[in-house]
Amino acid sequence: MAEVVTSLEDATALAQASRPSTPWSHARAMRDKLDASLQKIADGHQNSPIALDDVRAATSLLQRLCLLESDAMLAVPLRLTGGRYGVRHSLATAIVLELMLTRMGTSPSERRTAMNAALTMNLGMHELQEQLYAQAGALSPEQRASVLDHPNVSVALLRGAGLEDRMWLALVTQHHEHLDGTGYPRKLSGDQLWPAAQALMLADRWCAMITERGYRPGAPPDKALQLIVGRTSGVADTSIGRALSDVLGPYPPGTPVRLVNGEVGIVCRRTYDPSAPVVRVMHPTYGPKGPNGVNRLCIESKLRIEACIPAAELGFPIDTEQLWPANGPL
Ligand SMILES: [Fe+2]
């Protein structure tokens, strides 16, 4: 039954209770809002110019969250569930991209434009992306043609919504192009590719690789990073591969891991040493001493990370609100 609001105080309390208050409640609210906005642009809805403004608003908030709560936001690619796969993927890619471009010294306004591109890059295959999420078999010739053309269709939809931003449109066009001209749809190469487009492509790949599909689990984050950075040559500038590596490290926040002492936990915070993050270990025997588990700084030899593990091997549910509370009022 709907709650009855009888006074101004009740109304204020209700508004505060329903307002996102942690980095992760913001991320979930953003996922749901983007779901509706991207659908409008993909459908060529008459309100698609307003939906574009919603995308810009999401980007501004995302940039602030990445600045203030970068570890919580970096866990989004691995831990955000629910809603459409395509929306989760775009949100995850935008977060990794923002942190890479910050590392590369890109200005805040250019980073916002790049995030706008990340959120809208796959509009041209909005429905197909959900089909492919669940499809184990090879692509049909029609599906393949749609995949190869989707950057062009995305640009057409964005123009149809009234977008004229040259950089935003160029990044969407270029998000599958390679430095050596082997990408698609235009086989651009070398200086024709914007550095931010190369960063977008690598962030897109990593997020796709670590995410489960309907028919297979996601790759462990350390293996995915190794594969992508190892194959950067010819695809993107090696300095951009390094930016990806610097931001993520082998064990980014949200990664389930096993330590050499046998304990299992979730990476919750990065440190100055990419291979030695802080891991929240949960164990029934800690009981009242630490109902939320204990943090292990994985730098001592007996506390090093041995391996990434599937989340199912943790033996406890992952509570994102508990793992990444707000650093302060949001
Ligand atoms: Fe794409």
Could you tell me the distance, in angstroms and rounded to a whole number, from the CA of residue 299 to the centre of ligand 1?
Answer: 38
Could you tell me the distance, in angstroms and rounded to a whole number, from the CA of residue 121 to the centre of ligand 1?
Answer: 6
Query: What percentage of residues in the chain have a pLDDT greater than 90?
Result: 74
* Cβ neighbours of 156 (radius 10 Å): 15
What's the whole-number average pLDDT of the chain? 90
Could you tell me the distance, in angstroms and rounded to a whole number, from the CA of residue 176 to the centre of ligand 1?
Answer: 6
* Cβ neighbours of 171 (radius 10 Å): 28
| Strand-pair partners of 258 | 264, 307
Could you tell me the distance, in angstroms and rounded to a whole number, from the CA of residue 125 to the centre of ligand 1?
Answer: 8
The predicted model gives 143-159 an average pLDDT of 97
Could you tell me the distance, in angstroms and rounded to a whole number, from the CA of residue 323 to the centre of ligand 1?
Answer: 31
Q: Are 269 and 253 in contact (CB under 8 A)?
A: yes
Could you tell me the distance, in angstroms and rounded to a whole number, from the CA of residue 201 to the centre of ligand 1?
Answer: 8
Q: Which residues contact 293 (CB under 8 A, 6 or more apart)?
A: 265, 280, 281, 282, 283, 286
The predicted model gives 302-309 an average pLDDT of 94
Could you tell me the distance, in angstroms and rounded to a whole number, from the CA of residue 326 to the centre of ligand 1?
Answer: 32
Could you tell me the distance, in angstroms and rounded to a whole number, from the CA of residue 175 to the centre of ligand 1?
Answer: 6
Q: Are 152 and 91 in contact (CB under 8 A)?
A: no
The secondary structure of 255-294 as a DSSP string is -EEEETTS-EEEEEE--SSTTS-EEEE--GGGGGG-TT-E
Answer with the residue of higher pLDDT: 285 or 156: 156
Query: Which amino acid appears at position 241 of this protein?
Result: G
Tell me the C-alpha distance between 78 and 252, whole Å: 9
- Map out the domains of the chain as residue ranges: 20-248, 256-323
The predicted model gives 236-241 an average pLDDT of 95
Could you tell me the distance, in angstroms and rounded to a whole number, from the CA of residue 120 to the centre of ligand 1?
Answer: 9
The predicted model gives 203-209 an average pLDDT of 97
CATH number among 3.90.1150.10, 1.10.3210.10, 3.40.50.10470, 2.40.30.20, domain 20-248? 1.10.3210.10
Could you tell me the distance, in angstroms and rounded to a whole number, from the CA of residue 136 to the centre of ligand 1?
Answer: 19
Judge whether residue 67 has pLDDT over 80. yes
The predicted model gives 253-262 an average pLDDT of 94
Q: Which residues contact 115 (CB under 8 A, 6 or more apart)?
A: 59, 62, 63, 94, 97, 98
Judge whether residue 48 has pLDDT over 60. yes
Could you tell me the distance, in angstroms and rounded to a whole number, from the CA of residue 222 to the centre of ligand 1?
Answer: 23
Could you tell me the distance, in angstroms and rounded to a whole number, from the CA of residue 270 to the centre of ligand 1?
Answer: 29
Residue 4 — pLDDT band, cuts 50, 70, 90? Answer: very low
Could you tell me the distance, in angstroms and rounded to a whole number, from the CA of residue 73 to the centre of ligand 1?
Answer: 22
Could you tell me the distance, in angstroms and rounded to a whole number, from the CA of residue 29 to the centre of ligand 1?
Answer: 23
Could you tell me the distance, in angstroms and rounded to a whole number, from the CA of residue 58 to the centre of ligand 1?
Answer: 20
Could you tell me the distance, in angstroms and rounded to a whole number, from the CA of residue 149 to the centre of ligand 1?
Answer: 9
Could you tell me the distance, in angstroms and rounded to a whole number, from the CA of residue 69 to the centre of ligand 1?
Answer: 27
Could you tell me the distance, in angstroms and rounded to a whole number, from the CA of residue 206 to the centre of ligand 1?
Answer: 13
Could you tell me the distance, in angstroms and rounded to a whole number, from the CA of residue 268 to the centre of ligand 1?
Answer: 29
The predicted model gives 144-155 an average pLDDT of 97
Could you tell me the distance, in angstroms and rounded to a whole number, from the CA of residue 151 to the centre of ligand 1?
Answer: 6
Q: Which of 9-18, 199-208, 210-219 has the highest mean pLDDT?
A: 199-208
The predicted model gives 66-73 an average pLDDT of 95
The predicted model gives 215-224 an average pLDDT of 93
Stretch among 78-92, 232-246, 286-300 having the lowest mean pLDDT: 286-300
